[in-house]
A and B are shown apart, each in its own frame.
Chain A
Amino acid sequence: MTAQVNGARASTSQSGGGWRLRLSDFSDRHRSTTVIAGMALTGLLLPLVVLLPPFNGFSNQNVWLDGFTIAGIYVLLALGLNIVVGLSGLLDLGYAAFFAIGSYTFAFAASSFTGLNFPFWPMLLVGAITAAIFGILLGAPTLRLRGDYLAIVTLGFGEIVPIVILNSSKYTEGPNGIGGINPPELAGFVFPTVGNPWPFYIMMLALITICMILIYRLQDSRLGRSWMAIREDELAAAANGVNTVTTKLLAFALGASTAGLAGVFASSKLTLVSPNLFRFDVSFTVLAMVVLGGMGNIWGVAIGAFIVFLTQTVILKQLNVFFGNLGVPFLSDIDFLQYQFLLYGIALVAMMLLRPEGLFPSRRRRRELHTEEDVEFGEHGDPLGESPE
Chain B
Amino acid sequence: MTTTTIPASSGFGESVRRLRIGPYLFVVALGLIVFVAIGPQQFVNALTIGAIYALIAIGYTMVYGIIELINFAHGDVFMVGAFASMFVLTSVLGQEPNSSADSAPQAVFLIVTTFLIVMPVMGLLGVAIERFAYRPLRNAPRLAPLITAIGISFILQNIIQIIFGPSPVNTPQVIPPTAKIQIGDVSIGVVNIFVISVSVGLMIVLQLFVSRTRLGRAMRSTAQDREAAQLMGVDINRTIALTFFIGSALAGAAGIVQGFYFGAITFNLGFQAGLKAFTAAVLGGIGNIAGAALGGFIIGFVEVTAAAYGLFVWGQALVFAVLIIVLVFRPSGLLGQQLGERA
Contacts and interface: CB of A to CB of B under 8 A. Distances in A.
B317 interface: yes
Given A159-B272, A348-B151, A145 B339 contact: yes
Interface string A107-150: 00000000000000000000000000000001001101111110
A319 B141 CA distance: 37
B162 interface: yes
Nearest to B64: A148
B99 interface: no
A339 B162 CA distance: 8
A284 to B, nearest CB: 6
Contacts of B271: 159, 280
A148 B68 contact: yes
Interface in A248-289: 280, 284, 287
Contact of B162 (A142, A284, A338): A338
A299 interface: no
A352 B144 contact: yes
B294 interface: no
Nearest to A239: B343
B272 A345 contact: no
Interface string A150-188: 011101110110011011000000000000000000000
Interface residues of B, number: 50
Contacts of B155: 342, 345-346, 349
B214 interface: no
B112 interface: no
Contacts, number: 134
B324 interface: yes
B151 A159 contact: no
Contact of A91 (B132, B146, B278, B342): B146
A234 interface: yes
A349 B151 contact: yes
A100 interface: no
Of the listed residues A85, A164, A233, A352, the one surrounded by the most CB atoms of chain B closer than 10 A to its CB is A352
Contact of A142 (B141, B317, B320, B327): B327
A319 to B, nearest CB: 16
A89 interface: yes
A322 interface: no
B141 A159 contact: no
A339 B158 CA distance: 8
A93 interface: yes
Mostly, the B contact residues are: helix
A288 to B, nearest CB: 8
A369 B141 contact: yes
Nearest to A245: B341
B186 interface: no
A159 B155 CA distance: 19
B342 to A, nearest CB: 6
Interface string B140-170: 1111111110111111011101100000000
Contacts of B313: 163, 166-167
Nearest to A148: B70
Given A145-B339, A342-B158, A353-B148, A372 B317 contact: no
Nearest to B332: A145
Nearest to A144: B341
A349 B131 CA distance: 13
A323 interface: no
B288 to A, nearest CB: 16
B80 to A, nearest CB: 14
Contact of B148 (A85, A155, A166, A348): A348
B314 interface: yes
Interface string A2-22: 000000000000000000000
Given A145-B327, A153-B323, A157-B320, A352 B137 contact: yes
A152 B70 contact: yes
Of the listed residues A145, A166, A233, A238, the one surrounded by the most CB atoms of chain B closer than 10 A to its CB is A145
Contacts of B327: 141-142, 145, 149, 153
Contacts of A233: 343
B139 interface: yes
B323 to A, nearest CB: 6
Given A284-B150, A339-B162, A342-B159, A156 B320 contact: yes
Contacts of B339: 145-146
A163 B158 contact: no
Nearest to B278: A152
Contact of B142 (A148, A284, A345): A148
Contacts of A141: 324, 327-328
A287 B317 contact: no
B133 interface: yes
B275 interface: yes
A290 to B, nearest CB: 10
B150 A93 contact: yes
B321 to A, nearest CB: 9
Contacts of B278: 152
A376 to B, nearest CB: 19
Nearest to A350: B151
B331 interface: yes
Interface in A335-364: 338-339, 341-342, 344-349, 352-353, 356
Given A89-B141, A141-B324, A234-B343, A348 B316 contact: no
Interface of A: 85, 89, 91, 93, 138, 141-142, 144-149, 151-153, 155-157, 159-160, 163-164, 166-167, 231, 233-235, 238, 244, 280, 284, 287, 291, 295, 338-339, 341-342, 344-349, 352-353, 356, 368-369, 372
11 contacts: A93-B150, A141-B324, A142-B324, A144-B341, A145-B339, A156-B320, A159-B275, A160-B320, A166-B313, A342-B159, A345-B155
6 residue pairs, one from A and one from B, having the closest CB atoms: A348-B151, A345-B154, A342-B158, A235-B343, A345-B155, A349-B151
